Amino acid sequence: MSEFDAPPAAGNGLLDRRVFLRAGIIGGAALMTANATALEREKWMQMPGAGMSESGAPSGHESHIVRSPIGSQPGTTGAGASRTPLQFLDGVITPSRLHFERHHSGIPDIDPAQHKLLIHGLVERPLTFSMEALARYPTVSRIQFLECSGNSGTSLASEPVQASCAQIHGLVSASEWGGVPLSVLLEEAGVKAEGKWIVADGADAAMMSRSVPLDKIMDDAIVALYQNGEPLRPSNGYPMRLFLPGWEGNMSVKWLRTIKVLDRPAMTKDETSKYSDLQADGVSKLFSFPMGVKSVITSPSFGLSMGAAGVYQISGIAWSGAGKIRRVEVSADGGKSWADAALDAHVLPKCLTRFRSAWRWDGSAAVILSRATDEAGNVQPSREVVLKGRSSAAFYHYNGIQAWRVGADGEVSNVYV
Ligand SMILES: Nc1nc2c(c(=O)[nH]1)N[C@H]1C(S)=C(S)[C@@H](COP(=O)(O)O)O[C@H]1N2
Ligand SMILES: [Mo]
């Protein structure tokens, strides 16, 4: 089956996802290729190429693929964020150099030989771990996403902000995180019966600190030492960070320094002044830990433009703090009809999942959307549903459906449906 004879799967040109399972999509590529019979021997073939190097770097032709925008609080250089350029990436793993950053007081320059992790509070044996000691514990690695709870907050604006996918949704990334299960370290310290929470502190000037229920710690929390196979980047917590799969990014305390076992949450400045969801009735939800089910089409998206009418791939990412993505549906008619997208083979729990749909664009204006469902049965809500019951001052945990309008001129804009 090529996409030319693929059955339509939904309105306005969405094609059956099976085109991704067959060689058919090649037909689309052929359309864009001239009928050449021979290739010139290009200049880079006429002399030996560059030599080896100690550390790789992206092609100079891809220098636009950088984190942006970089914003910091007035009067500071390190209290802000940089975002992952989602619209230029494919697959699910974020290259470490492009992992988003969110710092409250810059990146500390930590000497691993001097850094220690202290575990204390309601434990039988308070313990400190040097890097060397930690490295001797059994490690695990998992590919998982990290999302700031402020991600996509731009979508709360009363009018759609015309900004790139990075700018609106780029506070999410995924890496292979490797490290020591925190449960192993806590078992060694011996948690007392009254220990029900921990509070984790960072070694940065902000001394970021967050409380985490012990159940989550014992379930899948790790002290991460590795990111995509190499030691963590300084911006992502070198030499060690707490990593809490699927939970709001703020709780994954970077530059981890102390873990104190408590009988209740510590109610730190970072969990009372921020990251709570104010409701329309003036009451805040106490805590919102797992990130909701969500998806976004990364291509086409704002700033990318379409060429001539024809067959295109709609591609994006979906994720959920509750587990695996079960399904992603795509619409090309503003939500009137939907078709299942194809999911790439790596569908991992609490990870980004790449989805793809084939779309025969007829060259006229269209609104494209994606909607994710996770294995717990949670369905990504519309913007309207997200806003319902929320205070207009609430900012965090936006997971509504993103709509992009493809204009007849091929330009893509942000719209609300
Ligand atoms: N010590 C410390 N940990 C921290 C922060 C911080 O400023 N200091 N920022 C938090 C926030 S708000 C988020 S979203 C994540 C971001 O992790 P990243 O910079 O590796 O993407 O780290 C969290 N951990
Ligand atoms: Mo965050």
Residue having the nearest C-alpha atom to atom 20 of ligand 1: 236
Ligand 1 center from residue 174 Cα (angstroms): 14
pLDDT at 274: 87
Query: CA separation (Å) from 271 to 200, 211, 278, 345?
Result: 12, 8, 13, 37
What CA–CA distance (Å, rounded) separates 121 from 84? 37
Q: Are 243 and 177 in contact (CB under 8 A)?
A: yes
How is domain 294-415 classified at the architecture level of CATH? Sandwich (2.60)
Which among 349, 290, 357, 298 has a CA at the least distance from the CA of 325?
349
Dihedral sign, Cα of residue 335, residue 341, residue 344, residue 347: positive
User: Which ligand 1 atom is nearest residue 173's CA?
Assistant: 21
Q: Are 251 and 245 in contact (CB under 8 A)?
A: no
pLDDT at 21: 66
Ligand 1 site-directed mutation target among 117, 173, 254, most atoms within 8 Å of CB:
254
User: Which ligand 1 atom is nearest residue 99's CA?
Assistant: 21
pLDDT at 26: 44
Which ligand lies nearest to the CA atom of residue 96 in the structure?
1
Ligand 1 center from residue 254 Cα (angstroms): 6
Which ligand lies nearest to the CA atom of residue 102 in the structure?
1
Non-local CB neighbours of 192 within 8 Å, separated by 6+ positions:
122, 123, 124, 261
Ligand 1 center from residue 237 Cα (angstroms): 8
Q: Which CATH class is domain 116-282?
A: alpha beta
Residue having the nearest C-alpha atom to atom 22 of ligand 1: 250
Q: Where are the domains of the chain?
A: 116-282, 294-415
Query: 297: helix, coil or strand?
Result: strand
DSSP 104-165: SS------TTT-EEEEEESBSS-EEEEHHHHTTS--EEEEEEEE-TTTTGGGGSSS-----H
Residue having the nearest C-alpha atom to atom 21 of ligand 1: 101
pLDDT at 271: 93
What CA–CA distance (Å, rounded) separates 356 from 315? 4
For strand 256-262 and strand 116-121, is the pairing parallel, antiparallel, or unpaired? parallel
Q: Are 222 and 141 in contact (CB under 8 A)?
A: no
Ligand 2 center from residue 3 Cα (angstroms): 41
User: Which ligand 1 atom is nearest residue 148's CA?
Assistant: 14
Ligand 1 site-directed mutation target among 208, 212, 228, 397, most atoms within 8 Å of CB:
208
Instruction: Average pLDDT across each block of 10 residues of the chain; the chain has 417 residues. List them in order.
Output: 74 90 52 69 96 97 96 92 98 98 98 98 98 96 98 97 98 98 98 98 97 98 98 98 98 98 96 90 93 98 95 98 98 98 96 98 98 98 96 94 98 98
DSSP summary character for residue 337: S
pLDDT at 38: 86
pLDDT at 276: 87
Ligand 2 center from residue 51 Cα (angstroms): 41
Residue having the nearest C-alpha atom to atom 10 of ligand 1: 250
Ligand 2 center from residue 149 Cα (angstroms): 5
Ligand 1 site-directed mutation target among 77, 115, 147, 148, most atoms within 8 Å of CB:
148
Q: Are 66 and 291 in contact (CB under 8 A)?
A: no
Ligand 1 site-directed mutation target among 72, 73, 103, most atoms within 8 Å of CB:
103
Dihedral sign, Cα of residue 251, residue 255, residue 261, residue 267: negative
pLDDT at 1: 53
Tell me the one-letter amino acid at 12. N
Q: Are 322 and 380 in contact (CB under 8 A)?
A: no
Ligand 1 center from residue 102 Cα (angstroms): 5
Residues framing ligand 1 (Cβ under 6 A): 99-104, 146, 148, 202, 204, 206, 208, 235-237, 249-250, 252-255
Ligand 1 center from residue 220 Cα (angstroms): 18
Alpha helices in 204-346 (DSSP H): 214-220, 269-272
pLDDT at 103: 98
pLDDT at 6: 78
What CA–CA distance (Å, rounded) separates 368 from 301? 9
User: Which ligand 1 atom is nearest residue 81's CA?
Assistant: 19
Residue having the nearest C-alpha atom to atom 16 of ligand 1: 102
Q: What is the pTM of this model?
A: 0.95
Ligand 1 center from residue 266 Cα (angstroms): 18
